[in-house]
Structure 1
Amino acid sequence: MINRQRKWMLYLLAISVIGWGFTDYQVIFQSLIIGIAAGFFNLFLLQKKIDIMGEKAASNQTAKSFGTLSRFAAAALVVVIILRFPEHFHIIAAVVGLMTPYFVIMIDFIFSSKKTTSTKRGE
């Protein structure tokens, strides 16, 4: 699941880079690139924290939080950069880029749950 989500995020990042290089909407794609890059970093942090939490739960230890502060800090950094250079970035496109990992997670969950419910387990 983690590898699928990372692969889709890299595909979306590559599509944004191609869009930035070959279209006239460079400001939009630039903003998408910075948003998707920060979102990809946030996805990586979230997946790492979930792995740590799973290991702690398996050994009956208490786990810390999911690292919400570090993910908020990355998003805040993107917003600060965009507000500092408004002629180079578009705020809405960057926010869409920041939200992209969560869309990828939801879509991946929908497809994987359909796959597991359509197959018979153990029969």
Structure 2
Amino acid sequence: MENLRQIHNRQKRALFFLLALLVLGWGFTPWPKVFAGLILGILFGLYNFWILVRRMEKFDRTLTEGTRAPSLGSGIRFASGVAAAAIAISLPETFDLIATVIGLMIPYGLMLAERITYHLKHQDSGEKER
């Protein structure tokens, strides 16, 4: 089974490719506000995912050491989501709010899709081990 850092690295590659496509859409389509909102949301979503990975590794370390487990940083991730929405609200001529919120969720949706495909690919090997 892969660790969370490997999953995060694969997600980063996919999201950077998606960001490159969104930059092209921002520059060459008549909807620059929507693409700018998606870009802003994905950047903050990637930051949230990075915080989650970092906190989960710290959580895992403290559990193996037997010390008190820290929080998983939900407040920080929530605050960064609010910051992305605040930027989109304060600059409505540049960013679309709905696209920003959708962009915040894209990394998590991509992670869910990746995990589903991983389990579907490795379904047969798991049945043989039992």
TM-score, with structure 1 as normaliser: 0.91
> Which structure would you say has the larger RCO, counting Cα contacts within 8 Å and 6 or more residues apart?
1
| Cα drift, residue 89 of structure 1 | 1.4
Any stretches of 5+ residues in structure 1 without a counterpart? none
Rounded to whole Å, the distance in 2 between the matches of 1:21 and 1:73 is: 29
Q: Give the 3-state SS of the residue equivalent to 2:47 in structure 1.
A: helix
Match 1:103 to one of 93, 109, 113: 109
Rounded to whole Å, the distance in 2 between the matches of 1:113 and 1:55 is: 26
Which residue of structure 1 lines up, in the alignment, with residue 35 of structure 2? 29
Greater CA drift, 25-34 or 113-122: 113-122
Percent identical: 33
Letter in 1 for 2:117: F
Q: CA RMSD in A?
A: 1.6
Question: Does residue 84 in structure 1 map to residue 90 in structure 2?
Answer: yes
Rounded to whole Å, the distance in 2 between the matches of 1:114 and 1:57 is: 30
| Cα drift, residue 122 of structure 1 | 5.5
Which residue of structure 1 lines up, in the alignment, with residue 61 of structure 2? 55
Aligned residues: 123
- Give CA deviations for 1:35-67 in whole Å, capped at 9, x if unaligned: 100001001000111111111122222211110
TM-score, with structure 2 as normaliser: 0.86
Rounded to whole Å, the distance in 1 between the matches of 2:50 and 2:20 is: 17
Which residue of structure 2 lines up, in the alignment, with residue 43 of structure 1? 49
Q: Give the 3-state SS of the residue equivalent to 1:2 in structure 2.
A: helix
Q: Which runs of 4+ in 1 moved over 6 A?
A: none
